[in-house]
């Protein structure tokens, strides 16, 4: 068993697509119209056949209170692996991405957290060698 697809709830799919591709560097894998929404997935350009991230519309009534509670408590919705948290923090900050947590070394992992502009906090994490 392996993870094929995961999702992040977004307030606006078009805005999310721009952020996740233009700012984060993911590439579009699927963009299929489904009524007023889309089956919209992105992947890492380093692994185009790897795990897809679905930019899932957050129209369900439970989505907004759930997302709002996570943001209010500073809890990231998901985490992305990076090779160098500090370098990625600098790159994304230079593009105007707003971080709620600057890079922090936590022993075996370094993390930082940013606002994806679509109602979520996202963590980036780097495994550190002991």
- Quick one: pLDDT at residue 25? 97
What is the distance between the alpha carbons of residues 94 and 89, in angstroms, rounded to a whole number? 8
pTM: 0.94
Range of the domain at 75: 5-127
Q: Residue 65 pLDDT more than 80?
A: yes
What is the distance between the alpha carbons of residues 15 and 46, in angstroms, rounded to a whole number? 23
Q: What is the pLDDT of residues 26-43, one digit of tens each?
A: 999 999 999 999 999 999
- Tell the residue number behind the tokens 């439970």, with chain if given: 62
What DSSP element (H or E) covers 115?
strand 109-115
- Quick one: pLDDT at residue 41? 98
- Quick one: pLDDT at residue 53? 98
Q: What is the pLDDT of residues 2-16, one digit of tens each?
A: 999 999 999 999 999
Residue 16 sits in a domain whose CATH number is: 3.10.180.10
Strand partners, 7: 54
- Tell the residue number behind the tokens 């056949």, with chain if given: 49
* Number of domains making up the chain: 1
């Amino acid at each position: 068993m392996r993870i094929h697809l995961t999702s992040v709830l977004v307030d606006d799919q078009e805005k999310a697509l721009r952020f996740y591709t233009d700012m984060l560097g993911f590439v579009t894998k699927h963009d299929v119209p489904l009524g007023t929404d889309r089956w919209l997935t992105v992947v890492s350009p380093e692994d185009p056949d790897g795990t897809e991230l679905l930019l899932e519309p957050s129209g369900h009534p439970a989505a907004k209170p759930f997302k709002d509670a996570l943001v209010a408590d500073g809890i990231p919705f998901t985490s992305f692996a990076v090779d160098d948290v500090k370098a990625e923090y600098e790159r994304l900050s230079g593009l105007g991405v707003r971080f709620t947590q600057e890079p922090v070394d936590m022993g075996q992992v370094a993390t930082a957290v940013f606002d994806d502009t679509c109602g979520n906090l996202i963590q980036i994490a780097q495994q550190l060698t002991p």
